[in-house]
Amino acid sequence: MNPYKYPSLIIFFLFISATSISQDEAAVLDRAYGMDQTLYNGKKYDFRLPYGTKGNQYLFSPDFMDGSVTLKGKCYRDLTLNYDIYNQQLLLMYTDEAGARNIIEVSKAWLTKFSLGNMDFEFLDLEQKPQLYQVLGEGPVRILYYWRKNMDLDIAIGSNNYIFNRPIRDSYVFIDGNLKPYKSKRSLIGRFDPVHRQEIKRYLRKHKVNLKKSPDKIIAEMITFIGNIK
């Protein structure tokens, strides 16, 4: 059979081949969650930047990462996520049943927590202002980080473009059900009972804790220690 006499057949087989590849990818999600409407009910992400904008709106980069999301008490693992800290929106990338790749905003209506790489976040309603916080430590006393970015006009001579600044981290200690900001070791220690301040100071000195540069693991261990002596 001369295939050039039947161009429609060639197009048909090419379509079947391409579709089967994308459907294999989509089947991975289907087996896991079957297009669960609790997970996939967010609106399409459609944030468009002004032409020539430098930088990006994400916590790290435009590259999506492995993570998990907890909605209505159910944890969904092995997801592909990113965190737009300019708009304070968690994003989910997935391939639908038709093989199309989508990015949606994870609905905050049922969101309680999520992980992004090795970082843990919670959606907390504190002081009548629900926000996403990175959470360090376990127990009633924890460290909370609020991440954000600003987009400003580029101050370079002759530039009319916008530029994102570096991620800004606002630090808080969560104690007695309240958020208390701190910016230094002195202000952090001052948030606790005077009876325990010397012990906290000794811990910080012994473990060489740097509140701005120490890894999250060190800060988590520090606040867990403080919570146990409170």
Instruction: Identify the CA nearest to 89 among candidates 73, 111, 70.
Output: 111
Distance between CA atoms of residues 32 and 47, nearest Å: 29
Bridge partner list, 74: 71
pLDDT at residue 160, rounded to an integer: 77
pLDDT at residue 158, rounded to an integer: 65
Which mean pLDDT values do the consecutive 10-residue runs of the chain (230 residues) have? 48 41 44 74 92 94 97 96 98 91 95 96 88 93 97 78 94 93 96 96 97 96 91
pLDDT at residue 230, rounded to an integer: 59
pLDDT at residue 228, rounded to an integer: 92
Residue with structure tokens 């981290």? 169
Name the residue ranges covered by the structural domains of the chain: 3-181
pLDDT at residue 177, rounded to an integer: 87
Distance between CA atoms of residues 47 and 79, nearest Å: 21
pLDDT at residue 29, rounded to an integer: 46
pTM here is: 0.83
